Structure 1
Amino acid sequence: MATLVKTPSGTWKAVIRKQGWPTSAKTFRTKRDAEDWARRTEDEMVRGVFIERAPSERMTFGTALDRYLAEVTPTKKETTQRAERLKAVSLRLFFGKYSLAAVNADLVARYRDHRLGEGKKPNTVRLELALASHLFTTAIREWRIGLVQNPVANIRKPSVGEGRDRRLSKEEERRLRKAVTAHSNPMLRWIFDVALETGMRSSEITGLTRGQIDLHRRIVRLSKTKNDSARTVPLTQHAKEVLAAALANPVRPKDCDLVFFGEPGRDGRRRPYNFNKAWLTIKSELGVSNLKFHDLRHEAVSRLVEGGLSDQEVAAISGHKSMQMLKRYTHLRAEDLVGRLDSLRKR
């Protein structure tokens, strides 16, 4: 049976002591509210479904987010860690002062609509919601924070869309190749060529070490990838020549194993070459609009398909786990298919 005590401030405190359950207490403005809570709580204990909600009512979303970033985020890849810290900024601004118990599906839906209304891309909002969802899942399953359900799981997520279909024209490729070749750092040209020849991600290219490259067998072994699946990438003759030149780079320090390396940081460590600023400058100077470096991966994968490789062969090279994802990265030019259609009629 619950004990009701009137506090000196005039509020009512309900205390429940039941065998087999930890002592639960909560303070209310009125005696009626305290009685109702005590009745519901005792009933949940009898039915074995009681959840101590006090921790979720005391912990704010901002505090939970800090704990997540300190405990969970560091277990992920460096690129994922950076991405999650960026996503956390907007989540903190919107939800930060709410208690975890106060964040419901309606509030999450308002956040979704607010971000979309700001002009954020649906996929950006979807990824932010994914971070929030994993925070709540972690709080429920691991921190035992006293939440009944994950509020993010009960809302409609923004549609991913059909993906980008940006292809690189021959003229754009010619101009870009000329510009990166003229750049003072030859690593920019080598990275550009490897991306178009292999379809590797920029992080996979810049993270390459000398031991991953086998020029004799014309392969690159990738152990750290976006989807955590190691794969072996075959090299075209041109890709082999480009990587051979990169490996022979005369300015590489003897103690540096990176193929594409940057200047030493404050800690003295050399990290992968960050070519983003140079790439953006060249694009701006050439007036090449709406082209991301990642689009070179799209271009490379599309060329593999156009070259006659099967979906399974292309997936083995690109690392796509599903044919649906491969389809989103593959965009065939209709004009390039005209000749193949004509050749079929001649058979």
Structure 2
Amino acid sequence: MATIVKTPAGTWKAVIRKTGWPTNAKTFRTKRDAEDWSRRTEDEMVRGVYIQRSGSERMTLEIALKRYLTDITPTKKPTTQRGEISKAKKLTEHLGKYSLAALSADTIANYRDKRLNEPGRAGTTSNNTVRLELALLSHVFTVAIQEWGLGLTFNPVLNIRKPSPGEGRNRRLSPDEERRLFAEVNRHSNPMLGWIVGIALETGMRSGEIASLRRPQVDTERRIVRLVDTKNDGQRTVPLSKRATTLFKAAMINPARPSDCNLVFFGEPGKDGKRRPYAFTKIWGLLVKKLQLSDFRFHDLRHEAVSRLVEGGLSDQEVSSISGHKSMQMLKRYTHLRSEDLVARLDSMSKRKKSLAKPPKAV
């Protein structure tokens, strides 16, 4: 039988001591609540289905996220770490005071709907942003269930609808925008900015892949770049166009590079004296705003590059080997061909068909 005592604070504390089970105690506002909980808990122990839930009842989502960011996040890529820190802030802001046991599917669905209506960079918060926040929350529950022993029996995030990923961006760079963009980056005091933007447009490499490059990875003689740490956890070799090769050659002989620095694109030494990749995100943002390039992001250069590879006649397989897309579906979402270019290709095909249909001239 449970021991039920009144505390100095006027509440009722139930303590259960049963052979084969850890001592369990819980405090209630009324004696009846304490008795009901005791009977229910002892019954579950007898039937062998009791689960210690106190851990999940005491741990708030804010505490769980802090533990996750300390234990789990550091094992991931730096870009993923930064993303999870940002997503954790939003989750904490809205749901941080809830205990893990109190986070129901209904509560999480309300969070989803509220976030989808909050202001974002392009009006409201994007479906993909909310989907990734829910993915982080779901993994926190998975880790809590499998590793932390908090007594959780299920993951409530699995019981709600997730926002669809959306159709993907279709922002292309017009010839006038490209001309103004390169005129501006090439005028910048640091020539590395112009080299980076040009290489991104020529190769379709991600900003992180370019920024982290080291000189041994770049072979201008064979016109290739070897990427060893990509977003998809795989290595790939990127062929270089003539223009990309020229840009890399200029970067490789940069007279401002210190002799002990192997980074192709390097920044100033930090407080610890170490040089890290050239940080151009802030400069890029100011530049795009100055040029009034509406809704244009650095990642759209990759989109533009991949689309141009397809327009140039390369097969999906050839393009994916350059860009690193693992599925043709993702490549399709990433590639947007200009309608006027397709019209020109259709006209070219029609002319070819007509020439083949003409009877040969009599000899």
Q: TM-score range, shorter-chain basis?
A: over 0.9
- Give the distance between the partners of 2:202 and 2:46, measured in 1 at CA: 66
Q: Report the alpha carbon displacement of residue 101 of structure 1 after superposing the two structures with TM.
A: 1.0
Structure 2 gap segments, 5+ residues each: 120-124, 354-363
- Give the distance between the partners of 1:138 and 1:164, measured in 2 at CA: 33
- Give the distance between the partners of 1:32 and 1:279, measured in 2 at CA: 65
* 2:225 counterpart SS class: strand
* 1:142 counterpart SS class: helix
Residue 4 of structure 1 contacts residue 34 of structure 1 at CA under 8 Å; is this kept in 2? no
- Give the distance between the partners of 2:254 and 2:7, measured in 1 at CA: 78
Equivalence for 1:341: 346
- Give the distance between the partners of 2:279 and 2:17, measured in 1 at CA: 61
Identity of aligned residues (%): 67
- Give the distance between the partners of 1:184 and 1:91, measured in 2 at CA: 40
1:246-301 deviations in Å (ceiling 9; x for gaps): 00101100011100011111111111111122222222222211111100000000
- Give the distance between the partners of 1:334 and 1:49, measured in 2 at CA: 63
- Give the distance between the partners of 2:7 and 2:92, measured in 1 at CA: 37
Residue 4 of structure 1 contacts residue 12 of structure 1 at CA under 8 Å; is this kept in 2? no
Q: Report the alpha carbon displacement of residue 114 of structure 1 after superposing the two structures with TM.
A: 1.7
Equivalence for 1:213: 218
Q: TM-score, normalised by structure 2?
A: 0.91
Equivalence for 2:179: 174
Equivalence for 2:334: 329
* Among candidates 249, 253, 257, match of residue 258 of structure 2: 253
Equivalence for 2:191: 186
Q: Report the alpha carbon displacement of residue 128 of structure 1 after superposing the two structures with TM.
A: 1.5
Equivalence for 1:29: 29
1:96 aligns with 2:96: yes
Residue 238 of structure 2 contacts residue 322 of structure 2 at CA under 8 Å; is this kept in 1? yes
Q: Moved runs in structure 1, 4+ residues, more than 4 A?
A: none
Residue 125 of structure 1 contacts residue 158 of structure 1 at CA under 8 Å; is this kept in 2? yes
* Among candidates 121, 141, 154, match of residue 149 of structure 1: 154
Structure 1 gap segments, 5+ residues each: none
Residue 4 of structure 2 contacts residue 35 of structure 2 at CA under 8 Å; is this kept in 1? no
- Give the distance between the partners of 1:242 and 1:156, measured in 2 at CA: 47
Q: Report the alpha carbon displacement of residue 33 of structure 1 after superposing the two structures with TM.
A: 2.7
* 2:273 counterpart SS class: coil
- Give the distance between the partners of 1:20 and 1:95, measured in 2 at CA: 36
Aligned CA-pair RMSD: 1.6
* 1:183 counterpart SS class: coil
- Give the distance between the partners of 1:61 and 1:311, measured in 2 at CA: 44
Q: Which deviates more from structure 2 when the two are superposed, residues 289-298 or residues 78-87?
A: 78-87
Q: TM-score, normalised by structure 1?
A: 0.95
Q: Report the alpha carbon displacement of residue 319 of structure 1 after superposing the two structures with TM.
A: 0.7
